[in-house]
């Protein structure tokens, strides 16, 4: 797996530095990647998936994850690939608007893409509600919302933690 980090948020403990920027590395066919336990990480600020040479690089990996923030103005799908967009639904209003803008872009540019919402359950609900009002309903029905599925388990775990105190706790 190749994870391409395009923003300032880096999961890698140390950044892989290079004299060549992302487009130059693509042109040479030699990425300066950092090997991690889950796969390779490539720090490529501002890279778009329609950059020249990205399809050839993607062909070397079984999966490519583009880690971009909502300030990325122009999302484009990786040509010729199955795209799965995962949106971390924020609670802040402006960020939620940018998240909806991304959802709308995916719906209009590549309605066959898979979309998953994660994060705050209320924010995920607002994104789905807005999508139902302004986007193709067939597209919105395919949007998965994992926040709604996780919340009942979190509530159950919190309740069970309270029940397991004292002599009445059962194994």
Question: So what's the pLDDT on residue 19?
Answer: 62
Cα 142 to Cα 70, 124, 128, 130, 131: the distances in Å are 21, 14, 10, 14, 11
Q: With a cut of 70, which residues of the chain have pLDDT below it?
A: 7-19, 70-74, 148-171
What pLDDT is attached to residue 74?
60
Treating both helix axes as pointing N-terminal to C-terminal, what angle do 121-134 and 93-109 enclose, rounded to 10 degrees?
50
- For residue 137, the model assigns a pLDDT of 94
104 and 89 in a common domain? yes
Residue 3's pLDDT is 87
**3-class secondary-structure state, position 40:** strand
Closest CA to 43 of 1, 8, 78: 8
Six token digits for residue 107 = 């719906």
* Domain housing 91: 82-171
In this predicted model, what pLDDT tens digit does every residue of 57-74 receive, in sequence order? 888 898 888 887 765 556
Would you state the pLDDT for residue 171?
Answer: 41
- How many domains are there within the chain? 2
| Positions of E strands within 9-119 | 33-36, 39-43, 64-67, 84-89, 114-119
pLDDT given at position 52: 82
User: In terms of domains, do 145 and 105 share one?
Assistant: yes
Q: What is the pTM of this model?
A: 0.69
In a shared domain, residues 11 and 94: no
Domain finish residue from 37, 55, 75:
75
- Looking at residue 151, the DSSP 8-state letter turns out to be H
């Amino acid at each position: 797996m190749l994870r391409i980090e395009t923003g300032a948020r880096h999961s890698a403990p140390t950044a892989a530095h290079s004299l060549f920027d992302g487009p130059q590395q693509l042109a040479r066919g030699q990425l300066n990647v950092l090997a991690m336990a889950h796969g390779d990480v490539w720090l490529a600020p501002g890279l778009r998936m329609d950059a020249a040479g990205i399809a050839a690089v993607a062909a070397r990996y079984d999966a490519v994850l583009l880690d971009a923030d909502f300030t990325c103005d122009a999302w484009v799908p990786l040509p010729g690939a199955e795209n799965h967009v995962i949106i971390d639904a924020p609670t802040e209003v402006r960020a939620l608007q940018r998240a909806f803008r991304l959802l709308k872009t995916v719906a209009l540019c590549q309605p066959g893409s898979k979309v998953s919402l994660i994060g705050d359950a209320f924010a995920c609900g607002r994104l789905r509600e807005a999508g139902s009002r302004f986007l193709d309903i067939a597209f919105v029905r395919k949007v998965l919302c994992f926040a709604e599925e996780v919340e009942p388990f979190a509530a159950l775990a919190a309740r069970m933690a309270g029940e397991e105190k004292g002599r009445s706790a059962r194994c």
